[in-house]
Structure 1
Amino acid sequence: MAIRSTMDYDKDGTCFERKSSVMEIDGHTALVGLIAHPAGHSQSPAMHNLAFEADHINARFLAFDVEPARLNTAIDTIRAFKMLGASISMPFKQAVIPLLDELDPAAKMIGAVNTVVNHDGHLTGYTTDGIGFVNALKDEGVALKGQTMTLAGVGGAGTPIAIQAALAGLKTLNIFNINDAAVVNAKRIVTEINEQTDCHATFTLLDHQDQFQDAIAQSDLYVDATGLGMGKLVDQALVTDPTWFHPNMTVFDTVYAPSETKLMRVAKQANVAHILNGQGMLLNQGAAAFKLWTGQAMPVEQVREHLFKED
């Protein structure tokens, strides 16, 4: 942390020196980056740069909107620029895996990566999304143990959410997804959960809307990890009828920008007890990633106060 001095004048014209605490960029400033497409909506730069400053760490976090065809180049840049690492977001959480040197055991089980750490050119992939989801619910007093949850979307965020929720004691998990490449992953997740945890998991295509509606009606939690409600899809949601929800449940949308999505507005119409966006998940997964990059704890409450003060 450097102290920058500037000259100012008081009301009677007397010159005085005004000092302010700022983080200055110099020849030793380390870099961390978000690799995503799109990336402009991300709050990760604000979150991590606040934490770097609060912890007096000489580093900066930038967002990089990477075209899918350039992902290889972006990952090579982590090594070339000697970056501390990177955050990985949609649509690269699975595509990045073959480009890394090693996977953390949890990331290997989940089959997705949201954090890359650079150890002298050796890139290791981790996943912190699942822990971020569970801790976000804990912060709001929402329990998972013994509960029934319906999850829509099993891409880069949905996969760790499913596995971590099962490990946290979830009783029943109903997974739904469109008929795309993620179906193979969804079936793998169901098998792993049923074999390695006490949770009973099932998978159904979203084409079966009656089953989707019935599953939500019988659930304590509905989690949307599809990405609908953000960017160009801001006006879209899988559930548009408030009668699908009931008051004694939690609706969790992993989207964090905008802070209120169409799904959340539908849940409000149903008087749902707990309606959460992805901000808590973002903060908690970010804290875990921050520790991996720096070895220091993120000042979570300080970051929360500044990052989400208008919400």
Structure 2
Amino acid sequence: MINSNTNLICLIGHPVKHSFSPNIHNHLFKKYNLNYAYICFDVESNKLKSAIDGIRSLGIKGANVTIPHKTEVIKYLDEISPSAKLIGAVNTIKNENGKLIGYNTDGIGFAKSILDEGYNIKGKNIMILGSGGGSKGIAVQMALSGCSFIHIKNRTLDNAKNLCQILKQNFDIKVKYSNMKITEEELNDIDIIINTTPIGMTPNIDQCPIDTNISPKRDVLVCDIVYNPRETQFIQWAKKRGLKSIGGIYMLINQALESFNIWTGVKCDEYDTKEILQKVGV
């Protein structure tokens, strides 16, 4: 029950109408008997600073940050974790008595979604579509998990190049960058392909980041971090080609559980993940 002692957690992004985060976190707050509430704020880029100042001045206990603010938000925080600094993006903020600390749980959540399905990351060749905040978190975590090669594809080549430079400077790993066009030949050496762009997200559900006529000559694990709709055109393409796939809902839940722990100190378990999938409207 919301009262004068309720701690507020929020999501800031643009857009946010599609978000399932309130469903997940309000379920967990209720389950663990915590006097917290989670709500969403649609914040345009030119209002980001005032929104962050509002978190501090209103005593909001924490926040999630989503597209398109994960990188820009850093300049308005007091401190960021070492991994968030390396990634250059923040998706979780904790307010410690007016001091705003940024974290990134995207990569951890994504890696867990792969490992939970029985796949290995070590030694694998990976293609990542996009080079925004979500891409950075995933790329760094893939490198930390021991992958051998990362190919970044992005419309803006300078952004892809910058991400590759971060990876080369911090990890013993082979990297490459190129534009968003994907060929069958490029997929011949890829073990895992990951869409980190908003292509295919509601309301643009008919869009797909790959030419659906492409048919890889080897098994490729297809991953999408878009979770609304649950089955994107990218995931549908994978299934039609007989490829294994993992939708964005799993990353969403796993990164949410990490954020929940940062805010509350409560460590969730595998049962929480299964319960959210079965009982919560996600």
Q: TM-score range by the shorter chain?
A: over 0.9
More strand by share: 1
Aligned to 1:14: none
Alignment equivalent of 2:232, drawn from 261, 270, 276: 261
For 2:123 and 2:272, how far apart are their aligned partners in 1? 33
Instruction: Indicate whether 1:84 and 2:61 are aligned.
Output: yes
Alpha-carbon separation, structure 2, partners of 1:126 and 1:205: 29
Query: Any idea what the Cα deviations from partners look like across 1:154-176, whole Å, max 9, x if unmatched?
Result: 10101111111011011111110
Return the match for 1:200 from 166, 174, 177: 174
**Residues in 2 aligned to 1:243 and 1:205: alpha-carbon distance in whole angstroms:** 17
Name the structure 1 match of 2:2. 25
Q: 2:249 aligns with which of 261, 275, 279?
A: 279
1:303 to 1:241, Cα distance in 2 relative to 1, 3 A = closer
Q: Is residue 283–residue 304 contact of structure 1 (8 Å, CA) maintained in 2?
A: no
1:147 is displaced (CA, Å) by 0.8
Q: How does 1:9-158 map to 2 (within 5 A)?
A: 24-158=1-135
CA deviation map 1:241-286 (0-9, x unaligned) = 24343462210011011100011111111000x2111111111111
Alignment-derived partner of residue 211 in structure 2: 240
Contact map agreement 1:116 1:126 (CA 8 A) in 2: yes
The TM-score, its normalising length taken from structure 1, stands at 0.86
Distance, in Å, in 2 between the alignment partners of 1:53 and 1:303 is: 15
- Residues 21-64 of structure 1 show CA distances to partners (whole Å, capped at 9, x for unaligned) of xxx11110000000011101111001111111111110001111
Structure 1 residue 300: Cα displacement: 4.8
Alpha-carbon separation, structure 2, partners of 1:84 and 1:302: 22
1:74-105 CA distances to partner (integer Å, 9 max, x unpaired)?
11111122111100000000111111111111
Q: TM-score scaled by structure 2?
A: 0.94
2:72 alignment partner, SS class: coil
What is the RMSD of the two structures over their aligned residues, measured on CA atoms?
1.7
Q: Distance in 2 between matches of 1:306 and 1:106?
A: 27
Counterpart residue type for residue 32 of structure 2: D
Identity %: 36
- The answer as to whether partners of 2:188 and 2:218 remain within 8 angstroms in 1 is no
- Structure 1 residue 240: Cα displacement: 3.1
Indicate the residue corresponding to 2:200 in structure 1: 229
Distance in 2 (alpha carbons) for counterparts of 1:195 and 1:80 = 38
Are 1:294 and 2:247 matched, yes or no?
no
> Which runs of no fewer than 5 residues in structure 1 stay unpaired?
1-23
Whole-angstrom CA distance in 1 between matches of 2:270 and 2:252? 11
Whether the 8 Å contact between 2:160 and 2:178 is mirrored in structure 1 is: no
2:186 aligned to 194, 207, 215, which one? 215
How far off is 1:294 after superposition? 0.8
Asked if the contact 2:14–2:44 (Cα under 8 Å) also holds between the matched residues in 1, the reply is yes
Q: Distance in 1 between matches of 2:214 and 2:179?
A: 21
Moved more, 239-248 or 187-196: 239-248
Check whether the contact 1:149–1:219 (CA below 8 A) recurs between aligned residues: yes
In structure 2, the residue corresponding to 1:157 is in which secondary structure?
helix
Against the structure 1 CA distance between its residues 289 and 246, is the aligned structure 2 distance closer, same or farther, given a 3 Å change threshold?
Answer: farther
Distance 2:188 2:236 in 1: 18
Aligned residues between the structures:
281
What SS does structure 2 have at the residue aligned with 1:170?
Answer: coil
Shift of 1:308: 4.6
Partner of 2:275: 305
Is 1:190 the counterpart of 2:161? The answer is no
What SS is found at the alignment partner of 1:223?
strand
User: What letter corresponds to residue 134 of structure 1 in structure 2?
Assistant: A
Deviation at 1:140, TM superposition (A): 0.6
Q: CA–CA distance in 1 between the matches of 2:213 and 2:259? A: 36
